[in-house]
A and B are shown apart, each in its own frame.
Chain A
Amino acid sequence: MNHKERIEKKIKESDEFTPEEKENLIKLWQEIAEAYETGGKNAIKGLISKDSDKIISDCEELMKQINDNYL
């Protein structure tokens, strides 16, 4: 069993997470494993920031809107 399968198995067997959380964790793990397979360790940061950067910039935009409209 390779590392990818091991971690998936651990998530499935864990009683710390709800079924929904497990599903999300497995999905995230698969994405991380895939990114690592393709681009090595550094690709993981790129994967995470791909989505999170959008969230952060949306937040910043909303904060700016609040500043402009209310403050």
Chain B
Amino acid sequence: MLALKRLRIKGFRAYTDEKEFMFDNPMILLFGENHLGKSSTLNAIEWCLFGNKECSGEKTGIRERVEWIVPNLRLNSNADVFVELELKDEQNQVYKIFRKWLSTTKDQLKITLPDGTILEDSEAKKKLDSLIKMTFKDFMATVYQHQEAIRAILTQVPKDRNDAIDRLLGLSDYRNIIGGIEDALKDLKSKRDRVDINKFSQNIESKKNFIEDSMKEKKEEALLKGIKEEQIDETAVLELANKEVKEKLHKFAQDANLQMPEILVPDHWKELNLFINSAKEIINNYRSEIPEVKKQKELFDNCILINNLQASYEEADKTLKDYKKQLNEFIEKNGDKTTINNNISKIKEQIEAKNKELEETNAKAAIINNAIGYLRLEDINKNICPVCGKETPDLLEQLEEEWEKVYQDKVGDIEKEINNLKAELKNNKALLEEYEKIEQKVNTYENLKIEEAKKIGKFLQREISKDDDPVALLNEIAISIETKLNELKSSLDNKQDILNNINFALDKINLIVELLKSKEKRESVDVIEESPEFKQIQLLNKKTDKLIENLNSINDLLIKVSREEAESKISAAEAAIDDYFRRIANNPLIKHIKFSVGDSSNTSSNYYEFKGQNNENLIPILSQGDLNALALSIFLGLTCSEGINQPFNFIILDDPSQSLSSNHKENFVDVLNNVLENRVVILSSMDKELQNLLSTKITKAKTKYSFTNWTPESGPEVEKE
């Protein structure tokens, strides 16, 4: 076994100045608060032995090693960064291992052998591997218990705890590779699904069925259209196109005196679509070019014109009659225009007379009113008339009586009469206006009727006199047109039937072409599975399946080997683990702990169980301190049991008492005394209680390094005791 003798560190992580540590006693203690360089000291040992490539990165399983920085950040780029470790074998031969940091991907390794030979780089690596015979993973599992390993065991999440125990047992590579293969398989299987030959064959089968169904439908349609089986033939359909379309179109054009059609039957049935479209266009053109059609259109246009003329004339006539009737009724009620004018004149005269009477009455009333006012004055003789001077007895009373009886109301009455006359005048004027309006309407429609009659005359090409009935004349012409139309219809129907028949033949040809296409498609689909492309897909599918099978085989082996290794390590160490755990935890409920590995119900990874003496699951009842004790027990059990081969005579414990209670710590120190019988223990802690216990209860000789301070300029300040 190799023992540690001396450690020199410069520029490595917390270190700036060079520092030296001697491993000259069975127990080496590194005490101090956090961030003073204790962990950097321990990391230096593993870095010197394994280098950057092994000690840093995600694959270490240690979170803080992701983007781990080796050189102290305060140093300039030219400064030396190195660690030198002296190891001593059982023959007291000393090997000096010197590792210098050059970059994140490169470091320089030198080994000085006991005889003074210096090996460098690859030779040095080879020698080192043969000396220590241990992977970094195994080192972390059985030599150096990292504080993260303890923390990871303390978790309540089964997956995380199983991961941590796998790491502790040095099996994390298996777990990681299994995970990687399972991810790859999942990805591969989903891609494989996209190109699955069986699904593809099913699609082809569906397509075949679709074509069959479509053909069946078209055949039924063909039957209804009178297409015989022997006509569904490449040659027969061309013959049909020639006889029933081309020849018939030619004859039609000839008989109807139309332009001959420019149409050719193609040599191949696949070109018939163009032929069909051309023929249909020709038919459409012919339909509008047939002479009977033109004539028919002319006659229809005349019919429409006749109807319009008739309607307009009758409309004008009816409206005229209505207005005439209205005028007669008016005259009957109100008199004619002359009568109304006479009434108006008379009323005007009456108004004039009344106005004059009013004027006279007003004047006289004023005089009497003034006389009364005068006579009412004091000292005036009431009997003498102020106008003529004549004396009349009781003149004032007479005048007052006359005023009251005659003049007071007379003016009002006259005015009333005048207003009545004015109202009557207004009424008559309104009547006159209304009369003139109706009269104007009558004149307008009389003229319109004459105009409509002239239009009819123009259409008929003759004069329409007063004695003529234009509507009757139009009716006569309409009957004549109808007769002509009936004559045309028969001839036209005949020609349209010929064109319809040719069109029907085109529809048949179209259907036959579709059937031929479907037949061709079906034949093509039938041979897909014999095609080279299909066979190639089958081969590639097989290749992928084989790859999946191989990956599964490898995965199964990994699971099996990981399980076997776990079982083997647990078996070799279980007695020791049981002993250490019971002594450290000292839980009265737990007389015995059985540590085993099995299958997880939902993953293929190792699943670790801890059962008590009654086969009960212990994890739910273990406290955090007990779990800490368990982590320590597993580590100590693995490293110290006789069944485990160890190249080193030392173990490293980094902050082992994270969740231990005081009792746990005492028991742990007691256990350490046993461990120290066979191992050198290097222990780092900030726990003062543990420090005291170690200082007082450890019976073996101890070297104590106190980390008292750390400064950026000089790094850790360490005192040796």
Name A's B-contacting residues (CB within 8 A). 2-3, 6-7, 10-11, 14, 16-17, 24-25, 28-29, 32-33, 36, 40-45, 47-49, 51-53, 55-56, 58-60, 62-63, 65-66, 69-71
Contacts and interface: CB of A to CB of B under 8 A. Distances in A.
A40 B176 CA distance: 8
Interface in B193-215: 194-195, 200, 204, 207
A59 B177 CA distance: 29
Contact of B536 (A6, A14, A25, A62): A62
Nearest to A54: B540
B210 to A, nearest CB: 10
Given A52-B188, A52-B547, A36 B180 contact: yes
B59 A40 contact: yes
Given A56-B544, A59-B540, A7 B557 contact: yes
A27 B565 CA distance: 23
Contact of B180 (A41, A53, A55): A41
Given A60-B195, A70-B524, A44 B180 contact: yes
Contact of B550 (A14, A25, A49, A69): A25
A29 B181 CA distance: 11
B528 interface: yes
Nearest to A47: B184
A45 B177 CA distance: 10
Given A45-B183, A53-B191, A32 B177 contact: yes
**Interface of A (DSSP majority class):** helix
Contacts of A3: 173-174, 177, 558, 561
A28 B192 contact: no
**Interface of B (DSSP majority class):** helix
Given A41-B176, A55-B543, A71-B525, A49 B188 contact: yes
Nearest to B558: A7
Contact of A45 (B58, B184, B195): B184
A31 B533 CA distance: 31
A62 B547 contact: no
B645 to A, nearest CB: 11
B43 interface: no
B558 A28 contact: no
B544 A48 contact: no
A44 B561 contact: no
A55 B196 CA distance: 12
A56 B192 contact: yes
Interface string B508-535: 0000000000000000110110010110
Contacts of A14: 557
Contacts of B174: 3
